[in-house]
Structure 1
């Protein structure tokens, strides 16, 4: 499992809904410099940052 998949799984657990998780993951996040979580989730440090914001 890669970092992006880990974040997807975590988001699904947080939101208890795959659609809501996907919406959050694909929405630009001000805390992530206005980017979506996917670019940040591709590295260990980015995965930690996105997970923190969840």
Structure 2
């Protein structure tokens, strides 16, 4: 793991986080209630954030 990956997380982890956030946006668009799909997508974002440094989570 290079210095960049140590600071910002691996490219795969950053891509997974972006994908998880996009999935959450797709699932949550237009809903008025929190569904099981919403909770699953939100948990996927939380799990993906664990592999990315705090400074890159925004």
Which bin holds the TM-score, normalised by the shorter protein? 0.3 to 0.5
Q: With structure 2 as the length reference, what TM-score do the two structures score?
A: 0.30
- Relative contact order, higher structure (CA 8 A, sep 6+): 2
Q: With structure 1 as the length reference, what TM-score do the two structures score?
A: 0.32
Greater Rg by CA = 2
